[in-house]
Amino acid sequence: MFPPEKREYELVYYGKEREEDIIANTMAVPLQPISTFGRNGDENAWHNMLIFGDNLQALKTLLEYKKAGKLTNADGTPGARLIYIDPPFSTKQDFHGTQDQKAYQDRIAGANFIEFLRKRLVFLRELLATDGTIYVHLDYRKGHYIKAILDEIFGEQNFVNEVVWQRSAAHNDPYQFGRIHDVIYVYGLSSQRKFSRQYIPYDEKQLARFKYDDGDGRFYLLDNMAAPAHGRATPMRFGKKVLDPPRNMMWRFSQENINKHLEEGRIVFNKNGVPKFKRYLGDMQGALLQDIWTDCIMHMSSKVANYPTEKPEKLLARIITTSSNPGDLVLDAFAGSGTTLAVAEKLRRRWIGIDCGKLAIYTIQKRMLNLKTEIGSKGKPLAPKPFTLYNAGLYDFTQLRQLPWSDWRFFALQLFGCIDKPHKIGGIELDGTRQGYDVLVFNHVANPNKRIDDETIREIHSHIGKRIGRKFFIIAPRGVFDFQQDYIDLDNVRFYALRIPYSIINELHHRDFTALQQPNDENAVNETVDAVGFDFIQPPQVQWTVSAKKRKGQMFTEACLKIKKFESRARLRGKDTRGGLETLSMLMIDLDYDGKVFDLDYVFYATQLQADDWQAWFPVEKVGKKVMAVFIDIYGNEAREIIPTEQFGIERKRTKPKKRTARK
């Protein structure tokens, strides 16, 4: 799994962990399905996956899926055939655009970012199919460091290309050359990787070479029939002539093909008697694509999701077509605005997208439900294949208790980083191991009225106390335990109570756990997040009012939502915390909620709302029968409110409701 430790050189920095420690110390997080969009009639068929959560933990879970044979391409081969990532790599970049644009602006801190990305690259290597390819999209700020890291992780021998992508037109910078390109590093796991050559249209200079015409309107060029060679070359017969190739050259055509092309009139002789081959412009695919891409610049008019760092669909279509086939699995661990997923869907690939931002998740959901058939968001509407939205590391405990026992057991083991390994000691069925010690998951489904008290622990100890190690773990819902302490010592054994939904007991782990922080202004939308544990959904408490009125200094009436009170709750570093309006991240609005799918229309960041006395304004004429407001705190928890139009004091009839795909 891990390359040799000894290398000629490597990038060294503070906090760099061993690869095996990264794999071992990262907790897998069970994926809790939230919504399924579309149906295919077969519950066992593949569903594309959109995952909200820390991608490091989600990648560990996906690695478990791969090992279990649940992560395959259409041909059955395990792992992702193609991985593309566009991690947050800029530093407080200034983007030009309107206030409505959902700006990605990145914050990076030297070695922290390098190790942040390195950890994920270790898992991505393990998730890649043996003939797969990974594309890592960066710029001048950190690209040179990450190139060294990629050489370490994938091996220099597996480096394929450094693609230079021109992302914008020329800049008029007064003190430097215009910075108008990004780099995309391409690596594989072997020389057997999938690669389909790509072609681009000829430029004027190339077209000028097709200058000959036999009078039928078909232009052609005269191409050499010989190629460089070593050693003695074989002469070939051209009609009545037998010709040797030029010195140090060989004929590129077999005798059979030479005879065929002579009959077709495709071979002519120049004035020196040298044979030339007619290549017709109409038969050519175009110029072979090289590693400098200047033909898919990102223009504001071509944006689909209104993210300033959104990449053009044409760019992703080129990458996906080059390194995968229809039915192959495409993975993007920094899904952002969802371009990779949208293009994968259009090109009939399977896909998995991960992001830690609620705004990104809702933006992707909206995008996938409003696809067009052609690249560049053109053509007829395209209904996506079924996909499921999952929470990773953020769970609704009321739903978890309703899970079937097998799913609950899996969740409990993964929650506390246990190895799923059923075994029996002294007649007691155990579920796995943790840190090398035995684990019992309490079956509250089979024993709904049973409690775990001191006597229960003593009974277990009497049966197996002498046959287990120094530690024994019992996982159960918090309310099942009748004692308050975190462990009970009996003889030389410490029996730990791992309570759900308590965060991990700090004594058992190297570090504390925290929730996925959400941004409260545009400048922090794409800030890197490196979570290390679980959190549980605790919806914030919100008081609000709505009305239809004129803003100060404005002529027209607008719909207004005013937040009167906001209170969030979260469990951070083992402690329950509360906060007020300062913990509000953003407000999202669907102006015409259909009762099934939240279709994002507007997003208001906390900084915007605070500047306007915690008010959000939107056009009255766009308000449908029902409005859904989603209030999100900085921990990722959300409260949803459905607001009938009448509450605004307006009457509105929509003649064309938004078209959406119902969820399962």
171 with 179: CB under 8 angstroms? yes
162-167 contacts at long range (C-beta below 8 A, 24 or more positions apart) = 162/186, 162/291, 163/135, 163/291, 163/292, 163/293, 164/291, 164/292, 164/293, 165/137, 165/293, 165/296, 165/315, 166/292, 166/293, 166/294, 166/297, 167/297, 167/298
Task: Report which residue type is found at 324.
Answer: S
Q: Which two tokens stand for residue 132?
A: 């797969």
State the number of CA atoms in the 13 A half-sphere of 39 facing the CB.
4
Average of per-residue pLDDT across 577-587:
87
pLDDT of 531 reads 45
| Gap between the Cα atoms of 334 and 71, Å rounded | 19
pLDDT of 506 reads 32
209-223, 236-250, 289-303: lowest mean pLDDT where?
289-303
157-166, 277-286, 405-414, 507-516: lowest mean pLDDT where?
507-516
| Gap between the Cα atoms of 344 and 75, Å rounded | 17
Average of per-residue pLDDT across 421-427:
92
| Alpha-carbon radius of gyration of the chain | 30
Q: Pairing mode, if any, of strands 80-85 and 128-138? A: parallel
Q: Angle CA(345)–CA(163)–CA(283) in degrees, nearest 5? A: 70
Residue 213 — pLDDT band, cuts 50, 70, 90?
very high
pLDDT > 80? residue 35: yes
| Gap between the Cα atoms of 413 and 64, Å rounded | 13
Q: Choose between 637 and 518: higher pLDDT.
A: 637
pLDDT > 50? residue 90: no
Q: Choose between 242 and 414: higher pLDDT.
A: 242
Coil/strand/helix, residue 250: strand
Alpha-carbon dihedral of residues 485, 28, 345, 298, nearest 10 degrees?
90
Q: Which two tokens stand for residue 143?
A: 């690209």
Average of per-residue pLDDT across 347-371:
91
| Gap between the Cα atoms of 410 and 31, Å rounded | 10
pLDDT > 90? residue 377: no
Residue 488 — pLDDT band, cuts 50, 70, 90?
confident
Q: Pairing mode, if any, of strands 329-332 and 350-355? A: parallel
- Torsions phi, psi of 585, nearest 5? -95, -55
Q: Choose between 237 and 524: higher pLDDT.
A: 237
Alpha carbon 284 to chain centroid distance? 36
Residue 394 — pLDDT band, cuts 50, 70, 90?
low
Residue 512 — pLDDT band, cuts 50, 70, 90?
very low
pTM, full prediction:
0.74
pLDDT > 60? residue 272: yes
Average of per-residue pLDDT across 16-27:
90
| Gap between the Cα atoms of 513 and 506, Å rounded | 9
Q: Which two tokens stand for residue 109?
A: 């801190």
Average of per-residue pLDDT across 344-361:
93
26 with 503: CB under 8 angstroms? no
Average of per-residue pLDDT across 633-662:
74
Q: Which of 390, 393, 414 is nearest to 498 (CA)?
A: 414
604: number of Cβ within 10 Å: 21
Which residues touch 391 (CB under 8 Å, ≥6 apart)?
A: 31, 32, 34, 51, 52, 53, 537
Q: Which of 85-89, 90-94, 261-265, 377-381: highest mean pLDDT?
A: 261-265
pLDDT > 70? residue 483: yes
CATH code reported for the domain at 36-198+289-370+381-392: 3.40.50.150
pLDDT of 594 reads 86
pLDDT > 80? residue 100: no
pLDDT > 60? residue 130: yes
Q: Which two tokens stand for residue 646?
A: 């009448």
Residue 650 — pLDDT band, cuts 50, 70, 90?
confident
Q: Which of 235, 133, 229, 222 is nearest to 184 (CA)?
A: 133
596 with 660: CB under 8 angstroms? yes
- Secondary structure of 389-447 in the HEC alphabet? EEEECEECHHHHCCCCHHHHHHHHHHHCCCEEEEEEECCEEEEEEECCEEEEECCCCCC
pLDDT > 50? residue 250: yes
| Gap between the Cα atoms of 221 and 285, Å rounded | 14
| Gap between the Cα atoms of 564 and 568, Å rounded | 14
Residue 261 — pLDDT band, cuts 50, 70, 90?
very high
Q: Could you give the percent of the chain with pLDDT greater than 90?
A: 55
For 63-83, write each residue's pLDDT tens digit.
Answer: 999 999 999 998 999 999 999
Bridge partners (DSSP) listed for residue 278: 222
pLDDT of 657 reads 58
Average of per-residue pLDDT across 508-523:
48
For 287-335, write each residue's pLDDT tens digit.
Answer: 999 999 999 888 765 566 555 467 899 999 999 999 999 999 999 999 9
For 597-627, write each residue's pLDDT tens digit.
Answer: 888 889 998 999 999 999 999 999 999 999 9
136-140, 271-275, 326-330, 396-400: lowest mean pLDDT where?
396-400
What's the chain's average pLDDT? 84
pLDDT > 80? residue 459: yes
| Gap between the Cα atoms of 269 and 152, Å rounded | 54
Residue 576 — pLDDT band, cuts 50, 70, 90?
low
pLDDT > 90? residue 7: no
How far CA 368 is from CA of 314, 334, 339, 373, 645, in Å, comes to 17, 16, 10, 11, 27
pLDDT > 90? residue 499: no
495 with 488: CB under 8 angstroms? yes
pLDDT > 90? residue 504: no
Bridge partners (DSSP) listed for residue 547: 560
Q: Choose between 320 and 360: higher pLDDT.
A: 320
| Gap between the Cα atoms of 413 and 431, Å rounded | 8
| Gap between the Cα atoms of 163 and 186, Å rounded | 8
Average of per-residue pLDDT across 42-64:
89
- Secondary structure of 580-609 in the HEC alphabet? CHHHEEEEEEECCCCCCCCCCCEEEEHHHH
What H or E segment, with its residue span, contains residue 206?
helix 204-207
pLDDT > 80? residue 232: no
Average of per-residue pLDDT across 11-39:
85
Q: Could you tell me the sign of the dihedral formed by the alpha carbons of 338, 341, 343, 345, in that order?
A: negative
pLDDT of 346 reads 97
pLDDT of 505 reads 29
Which CATH number among 2.60.40, 2.40.50, 3.40.1130, 2.30.30 corresponds to the domain 538-648? 2.60.40
pLDDT of 660 reads 54
pLDDT > 50? residue 98: no
